[in-house]
Amino acid sequence: MLNSPQPYKDWKDFFTEKLVNTGAFQLASASSKGDTDIEIYSTLEGDPDTIIQVGYLSPVTLIYVHVLNPATPGKNRQQEIEHLYKYEFDTEKQYGSPGLDFNEINVQGISNYLDQGFNGIETIYYLNGKPVKSKLTTSYYPDSPQNTVTYRFYTQSILQRLLSKVFGERNEYDEVKTVNLQDIFSGRSVR
């Protein structure tokens, strides 16, 4: 462990101090899945449906931090398919092996991510009350450029989708909602 950031002894201690001891979140559950220890924090402030899910490969190696909310299925999907890399916050190196080491640069990076919250918007397209598509315009970190990604949440088989295209079924969705991601997780509740 290089450059041990004070006053935290490891990632678990960091999240306890940053989330729980500030009174903004509580530890709702802890479990293991394979090599990953998982902690789920529920909010005590802000949107009550927002949770933070943290995955550790060890107390000093962080694999992911997911801020999840059912109102943002696209943002959830974006986070769930990604993980943290060794050099996630390194300005000179890129990527590296999976897992974010516990050091001063990385603690500052995760701290900034939690403090600044989400940015951008998500437009969700619903059919019969279920999301079928999401158009997410955001960036991974507030200082990086925004891009737009579309996620599809199909409940139809490939054959059903093909037939609806061939026969011209027009109702891909019947409701559209746009969500400001700052309303979901502004970051202010964890300062």
**139 within a domain of the structure (yes/no):** yes
pLDDT reported for residue 177: 97
76 shares a domain with 23? yes
Whether residue 3 is contained in a domain is answered as no
Among 63, 98, 116, identify where a domain stops: 116
- Strands 175-180 and 25-33 turn out to be unpaired
| Contact of 47 with 82, CB cutoff 8 Å | no
SS (H, E, C) 110-134: HHHHHHHCCCCEEEEEEECCEEEEE
CA distances from 12 to 1, 17, 18, 27, 38 (A): 15, 9, 10, 11, 10
pLDDT of residue 76: 96
Q: Indicate if 18 and 111 belong to the same structural domain.
A: yes
Q: Are residues 18 and 112 in the same domain?
A: yes
What pLDDT does 77 receive?
96
Residue 97, domain extent: 11-116
Claim to verify: residue 29 and residue 104 sit in the same structural domain: yes
Kindly state whether residues 89 and 129 are assigned to the same domain: no
Identify the bridge partners of residue 124 per DSSP, sorted by sequence position.
134, 177
What is the three-class DSSP state of 28?
strand
Asked if the structure places residue 88 within a domain, the reply is yes
1: in domain = no
Domain count, the chain: 2
| 69, 125: one domain | no
- Is 5 part of any domain? no
Domain boundary among 100, 116, 132: 116
Beta strands in the chain (DSSP E): 25-33, 36-43, 51-58, 61-68, 100-101, 121-127, 130-138, 147-152, 175-180
Q: Are residues 135 and 152 in the same domain?
A: yes
Cβ atoms of 189 and 141 within 8 Å: the answer is no
20 and 64 together in one domain: yes
Does residue 6 lie in a domain region? no
Q: pLDDT at position 63, please?
A: 97
pLDDT tens, position by position, for the chain (191 residues)? Answer: 445 556 899 999 999 999 999 999 999 999 999 999 999 999 998 889 999 999 999 999 999 999 999 999 999 999 999 999 998 888 888 778 999 999 999 999 999 999 999 999 999 999 989 999 999 999 876 667 789 999 998 766 778 777 777 776 666 788 999 999 999 998 854 43
On whether residue 157 sits in a domain, the answer given is: yes
Of 116, 139, 165, which closes a domain? 116
Q: How far, in Å, are 70, 162, 163, 166 from residue 157 at the CA level?
A: 24, 9, 10, 14
Shared domain for 134 and 88, answered yes or no, is no
Q: How far is residue 79's CA from residue 76's CA, in Å, rounded to a whole number?
A: 5
Do residues 128 and 112 share a domain? no
Task: Kindly report the pTM of this predicted structure.
Answer: 0.85
| Cα Rg of the chain, angstroms | 19
Question: Are 107 and 157 members of one domain?
Answer: no
112 and 125 inside one domain: no
